[in-house]
Structure 1
Amino acid sequence: MHPSHPLALPEEFLLLAHRESGKVRESARVAAGCAAAELGDLALRGRLLVRVGHASLLSSRLFWPEPTEIELLAVESTGLAWADNVLAELLQWIEAGPVSLNRWVRRHKGAFQYHRAALVGRGLLRPGPGTGLSRLLGRQHHYPDQALRHRLIAELRATTTGRRVLDERLLFLSDLMAAVGLHDELGIGKWGFPHRMNPDRGIGVVTFRPEAMRDTSYALASAVPPASSGDGGLVGDSGGGDGGGGGGD
């Protein structure tokens, strides 16, 4: 299916995060990644940046993970209800003082459910019963539109071979996919998180992207928590609430 209007960054992120099996691996990280993707979308629209601390050492730029603050650049309407709501809330937070990126992401993991529902409404995620134990437990899976998902994967892979320029959108998307641990699964491992999250971001395939956008992408991906042995459940995939269980196919 071809969507009638382009997907926002959090929608592209979630479409990729849903496996063909309808499951979501590393659900807590994906929820955080979706909240970060909302901010990334607003950065792409020129509404905000994330400022990170860095210093120079032997000609290399070293990033300090804390503090990272969200800087609001403009509050004009985007034409998207969710994005305008985020801008309005950001403005309220900023009036009270600096806005910590990590605190924002921790407080906005409900973005996952909102954008999943939006994808379902557009027919790009199809709710359906799970298989095996998931079916017995009454868990619902969400099956992604395969043609669109494969097209997004092809875009990301094309940047690793030089067949496509790594623009800001694909930089944000690939960094976020790598941050939730899906870069190898999607076939972008060669130029994934370990390489492009190098503290010296002015190298390789990211060289020609504006420094402020490279820093913002780095910070957003860094706001995703590391994998934990307790994660792997399926956000919102149970019959009566958030479900647990394995995230494998």
Structure 2
Amino acid sequence: MKTLHEVEQELNFWGWPQDKWELVVGNTTLQFNPKTMIMTWIVMILVLLFAIAATRNMSMRRPRGAQNVLEMIFEGIRSLVNQNMSPQKGATILCVVVTYFIFILFSNLIGLVPTLSSPTADYNTTLGLALCTFFLIYFMGVKYKGIGYFKHYVQPFVFFLPINLLEDFSKPITLTFRLYGNIYGGEVLIAVLLGLLGGWAHVFGGFIASVIWLAFSIFVGFIQAFLFTMLSIAYFSLAVKEDH
């Protein structure tokens, strides 16, 4: 049986740099994972190609192919948004949450392709997405409630301030590690399966174990993209809801 590190070395079909890139800014050293950055750009290109395919030569009478898929995603998420807030307020973040779902779904599923990995298996990616939601919560709150949005920190009593602050700051943390943990865990499990295969670990970039785990990984990829999107919608709706 091979160790996780040995399996990762054999699966490095494309020769990804193993060491992180460093950028020194003043007294601060920033580290970048080159593999995650490359895979993120690949996902963005795939999302762009999907969007072009879905919106090119659109037909109102007989939609087909990628247009059908995009319309189902858009209508489904719009329905969720309108169930949680008024359509006027929901229109502000509708395109954001639709983009969330498509980008996260593509990121989750690309790791199932032998020799490739999911950008969402890196907590830096999931943290970036979670911080976007975190700042958008405040944007939505201030946009529709003004400075009065911050009154909820001292409700129902002023000594609830630490608890309410902790609740708000825990949101990006839970969003980050829920998505990261599930996707990274799936990739580790594939590596463990490959380790059990011994000398067959590297065959076709890990194709055997990927197929074994394929169905469940697709399910997890969809569910995690949906959960991140749904929780973001719920947080936005809490920020804009009317106080009673």
Bin for the TM-score computed over the shorter chain: under 0.3
Higher strand share: 1
Query: What is the TM-score of this pair, normalised by structure 1?
Result: 0.23
Higher helix share: 2
Query: What is the TM-score of this pair, normalised by structure 2?
Result: 0.24
Q: Which has the larger radius of gyration?
A: 2
